[in-house]
Amino acid sequence: MTINIAYILLALCSFLCALLTVPIALVFGRRFGFMDQPGERKIHSTAIIRCGGVGIWLAFFVSFVGVLLALPYVQDMDLFPSSLKVYIANVGLMMPKIAALLFGACVAFATGLWDDKKLLSPRVKLFWQLVAIVPLPFVGITANCFLGSAVLSGILTIFWVLLITNAFNLLDNMNGLSAGVAIIACFCFYLISSASGEWFMMAMFAIFAGSIAGFLPYNFPKAKLFMGDSGSLFIGYMLGTLSVLVSYYKVALPTALPVLSPLIILAVPLYDTLSVMWIRYRAGQPLMKGDRNHISHRLEALGFSRTGAVVMVWALSLAVGVGAVNLRSLALPGALIAVSQIVLWFVIFHIVERHANARIRSRE
């Protein structure tokens, strides 16, 4: 309980920090012309500032760096149990990984901010995303999925972080959608990290979730500004990378199915990306050209309000994500039932969506 209170305080501090830094993004966007103009695929009718990611990025970095600087002074306080103090003393050993993580985060954020201003081509965005991601395997940030090869693990890591980065970029199409799904993902990863005793990862997810949560009051349900690509690319990169750093499997666990946890927790943005790409492919449209075929748009077309569609996607994310939390404690039959239940959520959602669309078309 003491440990959880410490992490709640970390999340609260980063939340309060974001409440102060997001207004800086408003001033910055207005001063330098980061405006999202109304258009055919837009859901707003007036120009809105689209660099809210500046506030999220600032809040995270100020909070995280502040914690690192404060550790030598607070590690002996009674707030931390002795088991946690050992980890605090060894944080310096993780500095290469921390440096690579923060470097990539800055590159992803800067790429998104540049795109918010100049609308970069997909190739340019992809190049700079790779610049952010490629260094990760060289400092030991790799996905371990029984591949038995450092090269294959490195390639899988690059592909995974790239996929999640762009999935959250695509998911950012309604007020609060991408931010809310990211907070839910942080919560689920936090619980898994807590079960593994990964105190550093718990701190990362607490700080990151608080930084995003402080943005929501300015963006949901009515938007004073959008997070823009500066926010969505930064969030996607961070979740993709942090999800690799979490330990899901240990030899003593009943099954190896917990390795599916990041796929499950991030299933909604992945489902949105894959379904949109499939719709575009079947329609013969360019895969990288934006449209209104995202899961939130499809829910809106079925009669949901925009706020209702966002809350529905949040609920689906939470219902699916929490299914991954207890996988490590379930024997094979229970684990298979849990995974099947998660799959059924999407099967049911797809069937309902398909039949509703069919009825709508029959009335036209």
Residues 277-310 pLDDT 10s: 888 888 788 777 777 778 888 888 888 899 999 9
Beta strands in the chain (DSSP E): 35-36, 48-49
pLDDT higher than threshold 60 for residue 360: no
pLDDT higher than threshold 90 for residue 186: yes
Handedness of CA 264, 265, 266, 269 (dihedral sign): positive
Tell me if residue 49 falls in helix, strand or coil.
strand
pLDDT higher than threshold 70 for residue 88: no
pLDDT higher than threshold 90 for residue 73: no
Q: How far is CA 265 from the centre of its chain?
A: 10
pTM score, whole prediction: 0.92
- Packing angle, helices 53-74 and 2-32, rounded to 10: 140
Q: How much is the average pLDDT of 111-120?
A: 93
124: pLDDT confidence band, cut at 50, 70 and 90?
Answer: very high
How do beta strands 35-36 and 48-49 pair?
A: antiparallel
Higher local confidence (pLDDT), 38 or 154: 154
33: pLDDT confidence band, cut at 50, 70 and 90?
Answer: confident
**pLDDT of the residue at 131:** 97
Higher local confidence (pLDDT), 282 or 78: 282
Q: How much is the average pLDDT of 48-56?
A: 94
232: pLDDT confidence band, cut at 50, 70 and 90?
Answer: very high
**Cα–Cα dist 198/212, whole Å:** 22
116: pLDDT confidence band, cut at 50, 70 and 90?
Answer: very high
**Cα–Cα dist 244/163, whole Å:** 13
Note whether 71 and 91 are within 8 A (CB): yes
Q: How much is the average pLDDT of 119-123?
A: 91
> Which range is least confidently modeled, 56-65, 103-112, 141-150, 245-254?
141-150
Tell me if residue 221 falls in helix, strand or coil.
coil
CB atoms within 10 A of CB 138: 11
Cross-strand pairs, 48:
36
pLDDT higher than threshold 70 for residue 190: yes
Structure tokens at 321: 């994500």
Q: How much is the average pLDDT of 25-36?
A: 90
Distances (CA, A) of 176 to 226, 234, 316, 344: 9, 15, 15, 26
Q: How much is the average pLDDT of 191-208?
A: 91
Q: How much is the average pLDDT of 325-348?
A: 91
Structure tokens at 171: 């998911």
- Give the mean pLDDT of the chain: 88
**Short-list 75, 137, 77, CA closest to 104:** 137
Handedness of CA 323, 324, 329, 334 (dihedral sign): positive
Q: Which residue has the tokens 């506030």?
A: 55
**Short-list 50, 52, 45, 67, CA closest to 21:** 52
Question: Which amino acid is located at 3 in the chain?
Answer: I
Count helices and strands (H / E) in the chain: 14, 2
Note whether 233 and 108 are within 8 A (CB): yes
**pLDDT of the residue at 113:** 96
